Structure 1
Amino acid sequence: MITLKQLHYALAVEKTLHFKKAAENCFVSQSALSTALNELEKQLGVQLFERDNKKVLVTPLGRQILQQARTIMLQVDDLQNLAKSGESPLGYPMDIGIIPTIGPYLLPKILPAINQQYPEFQLNVVEEQSHVLVDMVRRGEIDTAILALPYPCEGLLSFEFWQEDFYWVAHSSNQQAGQAEIASKELDQASLMLLKEGHCLKDHILDACKFEQAQSANHGFGATSLNTLIQMVKGQLGTTLVPAMALEQLIAENDQLRAVHLSEPGPHRRIAFLVRPNYSRVDALQLLQQLCREALIES
């Protein structure tokens, strides 16, 4: 009989394409994992993996079978979550993904409220870029992800809880730093520094400013964090744009910096939870949605 353990091991190998790493991730010996997979292939009468001393490949038929196995494992998870639905909504652990331009600024605002009201709640956070988190949600590797919208996430449900605008950050010596607002046409694009490609914040800024993607080639210096950009602004290497949520933490102790509201039609980005359509812990998600909204309003 095929077991859930066998399917779990097979999916681990598919993810890592490495038997030793898969065994470590599953907290079993490599021999135990290999034995279980050999038995699975024997029961199915199908070879799932091609392996030699250098690499592991998933066979074409194996790829189809593992896709079905993934669906089965997700349904089992949903069944377990449904069985626990009579308990406190946050009485069961939750794995949440969050992007780097939200995590460091949202978590300090919401974690105190969560810890105070639900001290037993176990929250596991994964920080990654948007495309990685969307794939992890689809594959059932995490419960939900907090992303900035708009972002391509067809087939997933979104639970929006916040909207915000961008602020232009410049050194106090900049002649425009004393303005209350600034339009995108007033920005010096040659000195505007943005995050490197792959960060959705860059795309949202270009969209809010109506800048052409082709014009953005000189907008960045390979920075991967807002903190790095702020330090570059402080060093008078240029200016940048940051979301309202991050302002307090980024420039509160930087007397040399000024923040000016970007006067383009907003909101410039929307913050939401993303989940699979059949996700069973919607009540817990809605509770977190409310907690996040209240914490951000109070801040």
Structure 2
Amino acid sequence: MNIQQLEYIVAVDNHRHFIQAAEHCNVTQPTLSMMIRKLEDELGIKIFDRTKQPIVPTGIGRQIIDQAKTILRETGRMNEIAKHFNGDLSGELRIGIIPTVAPYLLPHFVQPFIAAYPEIRLHVSEMITERITSELKLGNLDVGIVASVSDESSLQEIPLYKERFYAYVSEHTDLYSKQYILPGDIEPNELWLLEEGHCFRTQIQRLCELSRNSQFGNSFNYRSGSIETLMRMVDRNGGITILPELAIQELSDERKKHIRHFKYPEPAREVCLVVNREQVKTRLIEALRSGIMKYVPQVVYEDSKEVRVL
């Protein structure tokens, strides 16, 4: 049994196809098949049911593959420990980032970060907070960029910055004539929300004291996964939506006319890194934190007394 064989069975499990798994591993299909059969013979079991299409693991094969993933993950940890000891800033950093942060944060720091750390390979995926925490615990992500406090004891949060919330209002609403607004000024029937699962939606519900089962009087109830789409709905159909501060930086002067501040203390969210407490990529994660803090200084607030974090 060797590491290569374990990589092969995990690849087949991921792709459910021997040829695609072989391409992923950069070997020929006969070589991959032969190495897997040798492992099966050594263990005295069948790992895959080859009579089914797509190929699936057998019952015992599922357990073997899960153990192989654990071994490969721990082997990777050994390499990272050695890199950390040697001060080596290189390797892969798998990042999960929530959709309400990604389009406003990534453009600020990705290119400068890559230029500063050419040996670090970033793999970034957008996903909601719940999936990020799940993938972190499974070891499929190294770090998440989220905007909600985790109650997972196995995860650690590293604060980045706080960003205020702003109202984006239609000129046809009563709020358009106000310079500052209170959460209680917002009419629920006029509020455009993100779909379920987004932590930003939950924060807005807390801000406006909306229950999960709030009844909306409109005949058209629309929930989007995109803040940009919600702004377009306000532009075309009226109403109001809530934006995080970085989103404001992207608006045209014409759209900024629709922005309204909340009265003091202004509601805000705290964006942070979240990592598995057992992770060993400390130096890479610290480089990521420093890169974010360096290239988005306009949203970093050292004094948190001015805002109310939801």
What is the distance in 1 between the residues matched to 2:28 and 2:238?
Answer: 52
Aligned runs of 1:8-157 on 2, under 5 Å? Answer: 8-86=7-85, 90-115=89-114, 117-151=116-150, 153-157=152-156
**Cα RMSD (Å) of the superposition?**
2.9
Change beyond 3 A, Cα 1:17–1:245 = same
Change (3 A) 1:69 1:297: same
Distance across 1 between alignment mates of 2:265 and 2:17: 49
Residue 66 (structure 1) shift: 2.6
1:89·1:281 contact (CA, 8 Å) conserved in 2?
no
Other-structure match for 1:212: 211
How far off its partner does 1:97 sit?
Answer: 2.0
1:263/1:21 CA distance change after superposition, 3 Å:
farther
Instruction: Name structure 2 gaps, 5 residues minimum.
Output: 300-310
Change (3 A) 1:234 1:143: same
Q: Which residue of 1 aligns with 2:303?
A: none
- TM normalised by structure 2 equals 0.82
**What secondary structure sits across from 1:293 in the alignment?**
helix
Cα shift at 1:263: 4.7
Tell me the equivalent position of 1:194. 193
Within the alignment, does 1:283 sit opposite 2:283 as a pair? yes
For residues 102-156 of structure 1, the C-alpha deviation after alignment (integer angstroms, 9 at most, x for no partner) is 1111112223542454355432322233333333323333321212213464522
Instruction: Calculate percent identity across the aligned residue pairs.
Output: 28
CA deviation profile, 1:249-276 (whole Å, cap 9, x unmatched): 1x23444751223458676422122222
Aligned-partner Cα distance in 1 for 2:201–2:84: 39
2: CA distance, partners of 1:242 / 1:171: 14
Cα gap change, 1:8/1:263 in structure 2, threshold over 3 Å: closer, same or farther? farther
Contact 1:150–1:269 (Cα < 8 Å) also in 2: no
Supply the AA of the counterpart residue of 1:281.
K
SS in 1 for 2:296: helix
Q: How many residues align?
A: 297
Aligned to 2:308: none
Aligned residue number for residue 292 of structure 1: 292
Provide the C-alpha distance between the structure 1 equivalents of 2:276 and 2:180, rounded to a whole number of angstroms.
39
Q: Does the 8 Å CA contact 2:96/2:125 hold for their aligned counterparts?
A: yes
CA contact (8 A) 2:170 2:240 kept: yes
Decide whether the 8 Å contact of 1:95 with 1:125 is kept in 2: yes
| Distance of 2:102 and 2:146 partners within structure 1 | 10
TM normalised by structure 1 equals: 0.85
Which residue type is aligned with residue 287 of structure 1?
Answer: A
